[in-house]
Amino acid sequence: MEAVQTAEPLGSHTPTFETVWAALQETGRILKETAQRHEENYREMKEAQRETERQMKESAQRLDRQLGKLGNRFGEMVEYMVVPNLISKFHELGFVFEKAYRDTVIKNQTNNIYAQIDITLENGDKVMIVEVKSKPNTADVTEHIERMEKVRAHADLHNDKRKYLGAIAGMVFNDNEKAFAMKNGFYVIEPSGETFTITEPTGDYSPREW
């Protein structure tokens, strides 16, 4: 026997105002709860971010204080160990320096030349200009290049034909900064045990003369 499908009366499942209003209220409630959860999550995230920033700031301040102490200790090391032994250390690299000076200044107002020099080693042929930093960065290396150019200009004004070389001494040398210093032709001086070592630019790099 063939089945006969009977159409349902039109409007038997038509939503009423009450059902639509109830659905809208439920949707509104869900959206409100979702928004509240998102707001709570955002507040928690911001609070966590502020706490992280606070901890990072405190860590940076502690690091600055520690570096300051290192800088003072490095200054002492320069005064009591580095300067007296630099001549002998550079002698191992083939240099024969006869004199060493600390904290010298070159100044020529007429030609706008001014430079402060931490350590100067010299003989009749060569002069080594050493910049001392607790933790050298690339800006320090760039500044030392500018210092070397001023020193060279000052030497030319005084008919000084000697070759000028540069070195950077640091308590803490990152690999990138050390490579950048040697790339620009500087010798690198850094602590090693109870003394210090001098690394000469080699390989792809070579000592630069001004």
Q: What is the 3-state secondary structure (H, E, C) of 75-103?
A: HHHHHHHHHHHHHHHHHCCCCCCCEEEEE
Task: Give this prediction's pTM.
Answer: 0.65
Q: Which two tokens stand for residue 79?
A: 């005064």
Please tell me the predicted confidence (pLDDT) of residue 189: 93
Q: What is the pLDDT of residue 206?
A: 92
- Residue-level pLDDT at 8: 47
CA 29 – CA 44 distance, rounded (Å)? 22
Under 8 Å between Cβ of 141 and 114:
no
Span 2-31, pLDDT tens digits: 444 444 444 455 667 667 667 767 777 787
Q: Which two tokens stand for residue 98?
A: 């006869």
Average pLDDT, the chain: 83
Q: How far apart are CA 68 and CA 178, in angstroms?
A: 20
**pLDDT value for 113:** 95
- Residue 3 is predicted with a pLDDT of 47
pLDDT at 79: 57
How far is residue 31's CA from residue 85's CA, in Å, rounded to a whole number?
Answer: 75
Place of tokens 């901890």: 55
CA distance 140 to 3: 94
Dist CA 28 CA 52 (whole Å)? 35
- In angstroms, the CA 87 to CA 181 distance is 21
Residue 42 has pLDDT above 80, yes or no: yes
CA angle (136, 130, 171) in 5-degree steps: 35
Residue 46 has pLDDT above 90, yes or no: no
Q: How many Å separate Cα 67 from the centre of its chain?
A: 13
Q: Which two tokens stand for residue 45?
A: 């995230």
User: Residues 82, 107: contact at Cβ < 8 Å?
Assistant: no
Q: Determine the topology of domain 67-199 in CATH.
A: Trna Endonuclease; Chain: A, domain 1 (3.40.1350)
What is residue 80's predicted lDDT score, i.e. its pLDDT? 60
Q: Which of 1-15, 67-81, 164-178 has the highest mean pLDDT?
A: 164-178
Residue 98 to residue 131: CA distance in whole angstroms: 19
State yes or no: pLDDT of 117 exceeds 80. yes
Report pLDDT for 4. 46
Is residue 164 within 8 Å of 155, Cβ to Cβ? yes
Higher-confidence residue of 45 and 148: namely 148
